């Protein structure tokens, strides 16, 4: 099957290309608007004139594809509120000490951190100016404060804090993650400084949050454990904010995290249950139409209650198309259905393209429909008792093959026992999901018998036990797997070529597969060469000193041996994975480091820096040494001063002023990130 023969797939590819161009080229709104309007006008003119013969048809097709690319650019820019005059960024000062009177509306509750409750809010007003745009709100935890609800309107007096880039190499870029959700600032405040002025529900998000709150309050009266409540919220309501790290990690390590992410598996089961439950409507006049309308409405109601995440929105869009096709009794092509759902989602929310869940869910579905039939043909069991587990295994295997490159790129791990947890849970997931919906409905109506609540709680506990057991088989869990973007592209190219060759075993397709293998090998060689450069790094570690010397694929770590918190930190692991480090050693922090004919002098709390045989190029100040920096600069004359995270802020501020006076560069890791010498 030649996928590119389908027009909607070509249009979807062009829309994706337009979104990527808008992300990386930063095209203005005016330019994208003029470009899209001109191309759309050209398409309209050619269509009205009807010049679709011979060469004109080719030009019309090319113009449609270009217009779709421009549509992707325009959609991306129109959804970015910072491109418009009403954005709050036009009315604020970047100085965090400058306070503003803000009117905020809560849009989403996020997973809390150790010290703060986190929310995404819309900035309605800055002073007396009506504004738009989203912001991250961090509220210091207080035992007396109430949890805010979606659609609550607040008055806050606070300064804006710019989002910061990661301070160490290969760390997760939270700033970039929020930017792709059109969030450019954050604020920190306390509950005592917040004045609620309205709590009316007037958006679908607010009503959905109120429904989820009512469901949770009803379930709590039946003494469900926090672990069971967390699974119910994730499995049925699509909310994982209250899930403990231990449960989340166990599902991740067992390769079963997709069970807790409301996606195509869940929505497909719900569509099946709704089709069975609403089948009596088919006996009415226009019953099939009424049934299709009810199914689509109920599916989207479920999507709203589940929070309209990327995975659930994708699944509901796709199965809504399937439900409509079922009504018209028309066969559906799964590739067309996927492309239509992707096109609609990206048109109305283009940043979904950068959402990891969106990428994984579509990749998994494409892999299932492309690879699973090929694997299933290898063995066709005659007995259903073997056929059903074999089908589940092949579906799971195909999905894992599809998502493995992306999973290793984003999470750097691969759970090799994924098939055990999936074979143990997926056959019963329809029952767990359907029974869970029944439990929620009965609990909300206060008609849930206690024995049913205890039975369902036991089922969830059993599922958690199975997943926890699989996750503890650490010998089969491959962690810290180095994988970069080039290898992801090469792996998918190989996978696609192998599937094409298996479907049509010809010399031409075999040649493509062999070329893809060579490309994959070249990507590994290039990655090895790219990461072979040597470097000396002064990491940023609060209250501690941490240095590293990279020599090819070897890494030497210098740290304080009394640094008990370092074992819990991911700074070193992230760097090792991101730079394909094979082995590492640890040592104490030395006074002098030589690197490529340059010298780094380390001055610690003793303040001793007497050097006579050489003049260091760089001086690292650590553990707040009480020194006269002017005297040190005059006597040593270094090229740069470095202050790491182990120093007092007051000392660093004083050193910064001194270096400014001396016109000497200073690198402060708490502000500029890790110092890297190559």
pLDDT on residue 647: 93
3-state secondary structure of 132: strand
Contact (Cβ atoms closer than 8 angstroms) between residue 642 and residue 617: no
pLDDT on residue 675: 93
Taking CA atoms, 60 is separated from 10, 40, 435, 656, in Å, by 14, 11, 53, 62
Length of the chain: 678
Is the confidence at residue 466, as pLDDT, over 60?
yes
- CB-CB neighbours of 219 under 10 Å: 21
Per-residue pLDDT band at 144 (split at 50, 70, 90): low
pLDDT on residue 332: 64
pLDDT tens digit sequence for 414-436: 888 877 887 788 778 778 888 88
pLDDT on residue 53: 52
Mean pLDDT of 463-490: 86
Which of 42-56, 313-327, 505-519, 595-609 has the least mean pLDDT? Answer: 42-56
Is the confidence at residue 168, as pLDDT, over 50?
yes
pLDDT on residue 304: 82
Per-residue pLDDT band at 329 (split at 50, 70, 90): low
pLDDT tens digit sequence for 449-463: 888 989 999 998 998
Is the confidence at residue 569, as pLDDT, over 80?
no
Mean pLDDT of 197-217: 84
Q: What's the chain's average pLDDT?
A: 85
Mean pLDDT of 593-618: 85
Closest CA to 134 of 90, 104, 174: 104
pLDDT on residue 491: 92
Mean pLDDT of 165-173: 89
Is the confidence at residue 389, as pLDDT, over 70?
yes
Which of 189-203, 219-233, 468-482, 557-571 has the least mean pLDDT? Answer: 557-571
Is the confidence at residue 302, as pLDDT, over 90?
no
Rounded Cα gap, residues 555 and 550, in angstroms: 5
Structure tokens at 550: 């990279």
Which residue would you say has higher pLDDT here, 646 or 145?
646
Contact (Cβ atoms closer than 8 angstroms) between residue 170 and residue 579: yes
Which of 212-221, 277-286, 336-345 has the least mean pLDDT? Answer: 277-286
Is the confidence at residue 55, as pLDDT, over 70?
no
Per-residue pLDDT band at 285 (split at 50, 70, 90): confident
Report the percentage of the chain scoring pLDDT > 90: 22
Strands 129-130 and 153-158: unpaired
Per-residue pLDDT band at 105 (split at 50, 70, 90): very high
Which of 46-60, 308-322, 499-513, 521-535 has the least mean pLDDT? Answer: 46-60
Per-residue pLDDT band at 164 (split at 50, 70, 90): confident
Strand partners, 129: 126
Is the confidence at residue 474, as pLDDT, over 90?
no
Per-residue pLDDT band at 1 (split at 50, 70, 90): very low
Give exposure, 248-268, as e/b (b: 16+ Cβ within 10 Å): bebbbbbbbbbbbbbbbbbbe
Which residue would you say has higher pLDDT here, 334 or 522?
522
Is the confidence at residue 402, as pLDDT, over 80?
yes
Widest CA span in the chain: 99
pLDDT on residue 145: 67
Closest CA to 592 of 576, 572, 612: 612
Per-residue pLDDT band at 668 (split at 50, 70, 90): very high
Closest CA to 180 of 331, 59, 354: 354
Rounded Cα gap, residues 29 and 418, in angstroms: 45
Q: pTM, whole model, 2 decimals?
A: 0.84
Cα–Cα–Cα angle for 148, 150, 152, nearest 5°? 65
Rounded Cα gap, residues 236 and 255, in angstroms: 19
pLDDT on residue 13: 92
Per-residue pLDDT band at 56 (split at 50, 70, 90): low
3-state secondary structure of 531: coil
- CB-CB neighbours of 22 under 10 Å: 22
């Amino acid at each position: 099957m030649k996928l590119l023969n389908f027009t909607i797939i070509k249009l979807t590819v062009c829309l994706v290309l337009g979104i990527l161009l808008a992300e990386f080229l930063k095209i203005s709104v005016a330019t994208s608007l003029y470009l899209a309007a001109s191309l759309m006008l050209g398409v309209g003119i050619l269509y009205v004139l009807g010049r679709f013969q011979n060469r004109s048809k080719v030009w019309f097709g090319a113009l449609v594809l270009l217009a779709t690319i421009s549509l992707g650019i325009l959609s991306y820019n129109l959804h970015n509120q910072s491109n418009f005059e009403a954005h709050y960024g036009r009315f604020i000062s970047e100085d965090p000490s400058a306070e503003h009177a803000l009117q905020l509306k809560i849009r989403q509750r996020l997973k809390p951190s150790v010290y703060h409750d986190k929310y995404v809010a819309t900035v309605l007003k800055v002073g007396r100016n009506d504004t738009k745009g989203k912001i991250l709100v961090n509220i210091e935890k207080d035992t007396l404060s109430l949890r805010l609800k979606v659609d609550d309107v607040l008055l806050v007096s606070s300064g804006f804090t710019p989002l910061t880039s990661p301070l160490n190499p290969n760390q997760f870029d939270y700033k970039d993650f929020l930017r792709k959700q059109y969030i450019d600032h954050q604020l920190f405040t306390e509950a005592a400084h917040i004045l609620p002025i309205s709590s009316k529900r007037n958006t679908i998000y607010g009503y959905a949050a109120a429904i989820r709150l009512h469901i949770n309050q009803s379930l709590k009266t039946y003494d469900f454990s926090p672990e069971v409540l967390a699974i119910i919220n994730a499995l049925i309501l699509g909310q994982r904010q209250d899930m403990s790290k231990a449960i989340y990690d166990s599902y991740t390590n067992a390769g079963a995290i997709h069970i807790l992410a409301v996606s195509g598996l869940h929505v497909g089961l719900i569509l099946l249950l709704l089709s069975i439950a609403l089948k009596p409507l088919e006996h009415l006049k226009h019953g099939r139409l009424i049934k299709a309308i009810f199914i689509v409405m109920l599916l989207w109601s479920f999507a709203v209650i589940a929070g309209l995440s990327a995975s659930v929105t994708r699944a509901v869009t796709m199965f809504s198309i399937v439900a409509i096709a079922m009504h018209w009794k028309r066969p559906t092509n799964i590739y067309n259905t996927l492309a239509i759902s992707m096109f609609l989602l990206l048109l109305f929310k283009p940043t979904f393209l950068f959402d990891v869940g969106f990428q994984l869910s579509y990749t998994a579905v494409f892999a299932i429909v492309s690879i699973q039939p090929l694997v299933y043909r290898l063995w066709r069991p005659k007995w259903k008792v073997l056929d059903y587990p074999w089908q589940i295994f092949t579906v799971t295997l195909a999905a894992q093959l599809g998502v493995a490159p992306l999973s290793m790129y984003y999470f750097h791990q691969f759970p090799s026992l994924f098939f055990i947890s999936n074979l143990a849970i997926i056959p019963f997931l329809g029952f767990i999901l359907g029974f869970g919906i029944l439990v929620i409905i009965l609990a909300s109506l206060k008609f849930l018998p206690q024995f049913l609540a205890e039975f369902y709680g036991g089922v969830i506990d059993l599922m958690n036990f199975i997943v926890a057991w699989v996750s503890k088989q650490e010998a089969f869990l491959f962690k810290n797997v180095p994988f970069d973007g080039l290898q992801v592209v090469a792996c998918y190219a190989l996978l696609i070529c192998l599937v094409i060759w298996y479907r049509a075993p010809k010399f031409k397709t075999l040649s493509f597969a062999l070329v893809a293998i060579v490309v994959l090998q070249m990507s590994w060689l290039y990655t090895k060469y790219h990461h072979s450069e040597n470097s000396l790094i002064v990491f940023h570690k609060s209250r501690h000193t941490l240095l590293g010397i990279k020599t090819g694929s070897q890494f030497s770590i210098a740290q304080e041996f009394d640094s008990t918190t370092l074992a819990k930190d991911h700074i070193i692991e992230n760097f090792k994975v991101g730079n394909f480090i094979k082995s590492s050693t640890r040592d104490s922090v030395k006074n002098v480091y030589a690197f490529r004919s340059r010298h780094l002098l380390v001055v610690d709390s003793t303040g001793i820096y007497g050097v006579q045989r050489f003049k260091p190029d760089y001086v690292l100040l650590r553990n707040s040494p009480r020194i006269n920096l002017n005297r040190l600069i005059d006597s040593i004359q270094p090229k740069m001063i470095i202050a790491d995270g182990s120093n007092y802020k007051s000392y660093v501020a004083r050193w910064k002023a001194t270096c400014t006076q001396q016109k000497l560069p200073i690198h402060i890791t708490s502000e500029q990130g890790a110092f890297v010498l190559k």
